[in-house]
Structure 1
Amino acid sequence: MTYSIVGYDPEEKEWGIAVQSKFLGVGSVVPFAKAGVGAVATQSYANTTYGPQALQLMEEGKTAEEALDIITKDDPERHLRQVGLIDAWGHAATFTGEGCYDWAGGVTGKHFAAQGNILVDENTVKAMAETFESTAGSLAERLLHALDAGQDAGGDSRGMQSAALLVVKEKGGYGGFNDRYVDLRVDDHASPIKELKRIYLMHQLYFKESDPGRVVLLEGEVRDDLEKELKRHGYADGSKSLHQALKDYLHTENFEMREQEENYIDLDVLDYMKKQGRYVR
């Protein structure tokens, strides 16, 4: 009752998984990944030991196909399992046991493996594969678009409930202290993929570095708009400078990654302020 795609970006050296299921908190079960090593999606009566075992094998130098053969070989319920892997070089492998509920199957291509079970039909997996191959953008964006296309093509025959996105990159996590570049979950929602895409956009706003082309001097209409928004959000009361009021807003809203030198602002932050309701402190 799950469909997923694992992928690799050779330019950015990122590995990731996107998954959706008629299952509570699918992100706590299916995705496993390690920067420089690979990614694993284990589903259909998921054997969650597949994730760490496969990553360990691939870290030791095994290919995705070799790791897949080893982890499934001695599993007495391998006929019920489904798993997709991508290794350090971007080689992909997918496995669907003969006991998985129809429709069940998977496909591999350049730098990805897509698979699903209890699907309406094979078009979900085909749509994920075709979309991943034809979509530009970051690995996270390609995975999300592929997942969305899979749902549009039919998806899980039992419906939707949860979705998750995990992308790893060396020192890509918060503060550069781990490799969890993107780690987002929607555990229970009527439209989990749409919600996951919304949260991903928020993640990019909060944690992606500012686009230099969107950083402008605080003057004219931009300054007027900022003063109005800071007042509307409760940060400008005449007792502090515009710079201090903006700094207070940025730090309260966790926009430290978007903070600029004095007298400059990231327009993405200003656009966000305009879309939000009044902040009550």
Structure 2
Amino acid sequence: MTLSIVAHSRAEKSWGVAVASRYLAVGAMVPAAEFGVGALATQARTNMAYREDGLSLLRAGLGATEVVEALVGDDDRSGERQVGVVDRDGMAAAWTGAQCGAFAGARLGEGYAVLGNLLAGEEVLEAMESAWLSADSATPLADQLLAALAAGDEAGGDRRGRQSAAVFVVGLNGIGHGTHVEVDLRVDDAPAPISELIRLRQLHRQLHDMS
């Protein structure tokens, strides 16, 4: 019931997740990222334990594929889960359980994983991947993620409709002392959550640049 992109910017040394869903407050459930460690999205019949467990495995030095295998291997309901991981080196891996609602699937490449379930169709993932691959590498990671999310939404997105969206990015330039969190924005309940998230990101960038 969600579309998301997990990615790494080697140039910025940042990791992040953007996600949207016809579900309340998806940003409180799906994304996780840690500077120098990696990022992941856990969705479908969301197992929120994947977030901390996945980051812990990444901290221990496991690669993306090993992390995905460990998470679903220890889960007796893995057929209902979907997870995407990008590790510290930008390697990506994903799992889509056979019981995830159609259309469900993932697309992977160097530095990114695009995934979704209960989508309008495979064209949603195709649009997200195309937007990611065509982005200017000089564009901040948060804006690349949002562009990919918007492209997926325009291609049909979550086939049930729209409700919430979020973007979470960690990197070198944290917005507060003692943190590597660069962007942490959520729209929990709105008719057009991605448009609202993009508006908040524009405001966030203006305030951050001023400071």
TM-score, reference length from structure 1: 0.73
Moved over 3 A (4+): none
Residue 39 (1) aligns with residue 3 (2) = no
CA shift, 1:72, in A, is 0.7
Q: 2: CA distance between counterparts of 1:159 and 1:32?
A: 24
Q: 1: CA distance between counterparts of 2:3 and 2:196?
A: 17
With 132-141 and 164-173 compared, the bigger mean Cα shift is at 164-173
Instruction: Letter of the 2:205 partner, please give it.
Output: Q
Residue 173 (1) aligns with residue 163 (2) = no
Instruction: Map 1:213-224 onto structure 2 (within 5 A).
Output: none
1:18 counterpart residue number: 18
2:185 counterpart residue number: 184
**8 Å contact from structure 2 (residues 31, 40) kept in 1:** yes
Deviation per CA, 1:126-177, whole angstroms, max 9, x where unpaired?
1111110111111111100000000111110000000000000145132x32
Instruction: Map 1:1-281 onto structure 2 (within 5 A).
Output: 1-136=1-136, 137-170=139-172, 172-174=174-176, 176-208=177-209, 257=211
**Larger helix share, 1 or 2:** 1
**8 Å contact from structure 1 (residues 118, 158) kept in 2:** yes
CA shift, 1:179, in A, is 1.4
Q: 2: CA distance between counterparts of 1:168 and 1:102?
A: 31
Instruction: Letter of the 2:88 partner, please give it.
Output: A
Secondary structure, in 3 states, of the residue corresponding to 1:208? helix
Instruction: Letter of the 1:100 partner, please give it.
Output: C
What is the aligned-residue RMSD (CA, Å)? 0.9
Q: 2: CA distance between counterparts of 1:115 and 1:24?
A: 19
Q: 2: CA distance between counterparts of 1:29 and 1:191?
A: 19
1:228 counterpart residue number: none
- Whichever of the two has the greater Rg, that structure is 1
Sequence identity, in percent?
43
Q: 2: CA distance between counterparts of 1:25 and 1:111?
A: 26
Q: 1: CA distance between counterparts of 2:191 and 2:197?
A: 11
Instruction: Give the unaligned 5+ runs of structure 2.
Output: none
Q: 2: CA distance between counterparts of 1:4 and 1:76?
A: 24
**8 Å contact from structure 1 (residues 8, 90) kept in 2:** yes
TM-score, reference length from structure 2: 0.97
Instruction: Give the unaligned 5+ runs of structure 1.
Output: 210-256, 258-281
CA shift, 1:197, in A, is 0.3
Q: 2: CA distance between counterparts of 1:198 and 1:98?
A: 36
Secondary structure, in 3 states, of the residue corresponding to 1:141? helix
